[in-house]
Amino acid sequence: FVGNSLFTVQELYQACAEFGKALPIIPPELLSQELRERYHEKGYFDATIDYYDEGSSLLFAIHEGSRSNIEQVVVNGADDLN
């Protein structure tokens, strides 16, 4: 793993390890998607994760981007809630 700062390498390994004994046969695209979802859960919606086959291992290059912030919530048609 390179480029990660939000999650430690250990946390990212743990996310992959949740696949258990099936991990060696899981397509890299699925692992990348799983890791990206972890970033989305923390508000990093622009996070991208590329992977490179290094022969006997995979290298995940993480581009976290900026954390998203909700500035305003508008609810239409809620006049009768008071």
Rg for the chain, CA atoms, rounded:
17
Residue 60, classed as helix, strand or coil, is: strand
49 close to 35: Cβ distance less than 8 angstroms: yes
CA 37/CA 17 separation, integer angstroms = 15
Considering only residues 26 and 76, tell me which one the structure prediction assigns the higher pLDDT. 26
In the prediction, which pLDDT does 75 show?
84
In the prediction, which pLDDT does 81 show?
60
74 close to 16: Cβ distance less than 8 angstroms: no
pTM of the complete model: 0.79
Mean pLDDT of 31-60: 94
